[in-house]
Amino acid sequence: MSLLVVGSVAYDGIETPFGKRDRILGGSATYISVASSYFDNQVRLVGVVGHDFADEDIEFLKSKRVDLEGLQIDRSGKTFFWQGRYHYDLNNRDTLDTQLNVFEHFDPVLPESYRGSRYVALGNIEPGLQGKVLDQVSDADFVVMDTMNFWIEGNLEGLKKTLKRVNLLVINDSEARELADEPNLIKAAGIIREMGPEALIIKKGEHGALLFTDGEIFSAPAYPVVDIFDPTGAGDSFLGGLIGWLAYTDDLSPLNMRRAVIFGSVMASFCVEEFGPDRLRSLNEQQIYDRYRAFRELSEIPSPELA
Amino acid sequence: MSLLVVGSVAYDGIETPFGKRDRILGGSATYISVASSYFDNQVRLVGVVGHDFADEDIEFLKSKRVDLEGLQIDRSGKTFFWQGRYHYDLNNRDTLDTQLNVFEHFDPVLPESYRGSRYVALGNIEPGLQGKVLDQVSDADFVVMDTMNFWIEGNLEGLKKTLKRVNLLVINDSEARELADEPNLIKAAGIIREMGPEALIIKKGEHGALLFTDGEIFSAPAYPVVDIFDPTGAGDSFLGGLIGWLAYTDDLSPLNMRRAVIFGSVMASFCVEEFGPDRLRSLNEQQIYDRYRAFRELSEIPSPELA
């Protein structure tokens, strides 16, 4: 299926307890596109980069069959740059530098060829811009969006407007509690779904994820990664695997949404095994399905009947 | 099967956002015994109470067919009393009062009739006392123990001695990180299992639990309780459901250990629905198995093959 992806395309400087990279390809749209490309979709990227964006990164995205007609190249400045350092426990990080550069005035204009996209993934950008993307797609079957505490605190009004227009919101647990102003995640989920999205996924990092659909909750485990090398991009890889599977199968049943959550978890679990998007460069179908099966084994509850 | 339970028998004063009780039956041995009694075991309790222990509480334990021959009644003082107040989010609590009373000099001496017990549950008491209990049982098939940060910080040496003598340790995630001195739970589990117990369960509260056995990890979900009334006793009810199922089935395979984790989670999920042990007073088999099935549905991952 056709899948429109909007978000940031960036360079990241990353330091983890295991090493350091000064400048590596990053950004939400990058991770979402690459992760979703493994599910045989027509991925269409909307974003902006500067004059310093490397040819080899263009080539990498093209090698994953990502359509770059919507990738604006703004020669007036440099590509969005973020630099951060992860703590010992990898659950926290300090931002050392943020240079918005050409991303500061990003105006998502869709090429004509993108406007009929059936699936839409709105990466974490300003809610008004997310809405502007939706204004340009004529009849999408399914829209998923990400957001963050920065917008919950800084533009709640705009965020709530966009929330009314999406089918699925994917956020982490602290964001869910903040957005709903409710510490109990199950109650928070009910409050958030009343804001618009029929479905909600709450990501809990090392504790897995929860999917809320009508009258049903699905609790997905986290893959027990012993050596998390670099958590950068895990959330966006989750989103990419999730929407990639949904677009590929074009099946929006609660049962298939469960599969999508696991494929998202699979892609996130691969992502953290190497720096930046490196592990996502060379996956194959066998590895992806093998890890899906590992998730099933990890959480399988046997029938209470003894043999 | 015969199941020996040792721990505290207490009165608790509890305040939660939903109400208040000045004095309600509590203590680890109480919750473990009552929860495990639902699985048709010969439950044998070892503990101590004071002159103020009420006849109706004795009657309640007897009504659950808990053998009280090992319950010492020390008329020189009062029963262990704990008073606490839970915060709004129910994940944190303040201890307002602790009166050890007769529990301060608790000396677990087993009646002759208890010494051949096949299953042993060591509730959270001083590690040396846990060891003393093990000295008195001749050939137990399976020993499970609980502990807490207080002993990790205050008697690590004694704790490590007892750890070498048990089959399964059940602790929460912050305790596991502290005991192993390692933030990654998967790595921490490996370190702890090298201290003695073949199997380890890490409880993660609202995020479920992890079971580590040889070469296998099982990730159990948490039941989505919307209205947690009172978390007191949840951990001990988990332990009771867990060991109750193992003793009942007398099957220590990794597959049956998974069932035990879920039955433990079932009992904990019931426990928090009312004050103290009130919800555990009147459960029936149907309710327990229905909730087991709810856990299975909650975390079932469908095969990736589309229908």
- pLDDT of B72 above 70: yes
B186 touches chain A (CB under 8 A): yes
- Taking an 8 Å cut-off on Cβ atoms, the answer to whether B221 and A299 are in contact is yes
Q: How many domains does chain B have?
A: 1
Residue with tokens 């869910």: A176
| Residue-level pLDDT at B215 | 84
**What is the arithmetic mean of pLDDT over B72-97?**
91
* Residue A113 belongs to a domain: yes
* Residue B189 belongs to a domain: yes
Rounded alpha-carbon distances, angstroms, from residue B95 to A56, A206, B89, B98, B248: 60, 29, 16, 7, 36
* Residue A305 belongs to a domain: no
- Interface probe with A: pick from B250, B301, B306, most Cβ of A within 10 Å: B301
ipTM entry:
0.92
- pLDDT of A228 above 90: no
| Residue-level pLDDT at A305 | 86
For the stretch A24-80, pLDDT in tens is 999 999 999 999 999 988 999 999 999 999 999 999 999 999 999 999 999 999 999
**What is the arithmetic mean of pLDDT over B168-173?**
96
CA–CA gap between residue B32 and residue B237 (Å, rounded): 5
Residue with tokens 């207080």: B150
| Residue-level pLDDT at B22 | 95
Please, what is the end-to-end C-alpha distance for chain B in angstroms?
44
* Residue A257 belongs to a domain: yes
CA–CA gap between residue A87 and residue A141 (Å, rounded): 40
The answer to whether B195 touches B167, Cβ cutoff 8 Å, is no
| Residue-level pLDDT at B92 | 80
The answer to whether B282 touches B234, Cβ cutoff 8 Å, is no
- pLDDT of A118 above 90: yes
| Residue-level pLDDT at B285 | 95
Residues of A within 8 A of B218 (CB-CB) are 298-300
List beta partners, residue B10. B26, B80
* Residue B158 belongs to a domain: yes
B306 touches chain A (CB under 8 A): yes
Rounded alpha-carbon distances, angstroms, from residue B167 to B161, B163, B243, B252: 13, 8, 12, 10
**What is the arithmetic mean of pLDDT over B34-49?**
96
SS3 B293: helix
* Residue B306 belongs to a domain: no
CATH number of the domain enclosing B223: 3.40.1190.20
Would you state the structure tokens that stand for residue B100, as one six-digit string? 């050890």
- Portion of chain B with pLDDT greater than 90, in percent: 91
By CB atoms closer than 10 A (0-12, 13-18, 19+), residue B214 is exposed
Categorize the per-residue pLDDT at A227 as very low, low, confident or very high, splitting at 50, 70 and 90.
confident
Higher pLDDT residue, B184 or A129?
A: A129
Which candidate from A183, A206, A251 shows the least CB-CB separation from B88?
A183
Nearest Cα neighbor of B230 from B90, B115, B116, B113 is B90
Q: What domain range is B212 assigned to? A: 2-298
Higher pLDDT residue, A88 or A7?
A: A7
* Residue B304 belongs to a domain: no
- pLDDT of B307 above 70: no
* Residue A59 belongs to a domain: yes
**What is the arithmetic mean of pLDDT over A85-113?**
91
SS3 A16: strand
Mean pLDDT, chain A, rounded, equals 95
A295 touches chain B (CB under 8 A): yes
Categorize the per-residue pLDDT at B90 as very low, low, confident or very high, splitting at 50, 70 and 90.
confident
Neighbours of B286 (CB within 10 A): 8
| Residue-level pLDDT at B17 | 86
A18 touches chain B (CB under 8 A): no
Lowest-confidence pick of A26-35, A298-307, B45-54, B148-157: A298-307
- pLDDT of B257 above 80: yes
The answer to whether B76 touches B103, Cβ cutoff 8 Å, is no
Nearest Cα neighbor of A80 from A34, A131, A15, A11 is A11
The answer to whether B80 touches B102, Cβ cutoff 8 Å, is yes
Closest A-chain CA to B298: A218
Categorize the per-residue pLDDT at B87 as very low, low, confident or very high, splitting at 50, 70 and 90.
confident
